[in-house]
Structure 1
């Protein structure tokens, strides 16, 4: 999902996306969402409250999903 959002919503190339850290991708997505809300001519300019921090398990699961979604992922058994 993170790769899809970086390449689709942000318009980044696959190479840039794969070199970017997860932190930077999430910060860029947050900025994009904030920009869209603030420039929406039909309202919704109030920023939403920040999401609670993710647990270590949620971050680990997100990383695992990100790497498994990459076409060159080989899996732990083959490494």
Structure 2
């Protein structure tokens, strides 16, 4: 995920702590949702925080072996 989807170098991917990787994945997903030209049609206000991504949650669960609460 770090070298392909996030575009990081292999050295950076191996040295970055897991929590920072998860934050970067969440930010990438949020950015992709905000810049989607085929959006859902509803606008989000600053007060509406996007829900956590299912993809990031499943990856986090697979890598840590723990359920995401």
- TM class by shorter chain equals 0.5 to 0.7
How many angstroms apart in 1 are the aligned matches of 2:64 and 2:15? 14
TM-score (norm 1): 0.55
- 1:41-56 correspondence to structure 2 within 5 Å: 41-44=37-40, 48-50=50-52
Larger radius of gyration: 1
Structure 1 unmatched runs, 5+: 65-79
**Count of matched residue pairs:** 53
Q: Which runs of 5+ in 2 are unaligned?
A: none
Higher helix share: 1
TM-score, structure 2 as length reference: 0.62
Residue 9 of structure 1 is aligned with which of 5, 11, 20?
Answer: 5
Question: Root-mean-square deviation (CA), in Å?
Answer: 2.6
1:62, distance to aligned residue in structure 2 (A) = 1.9
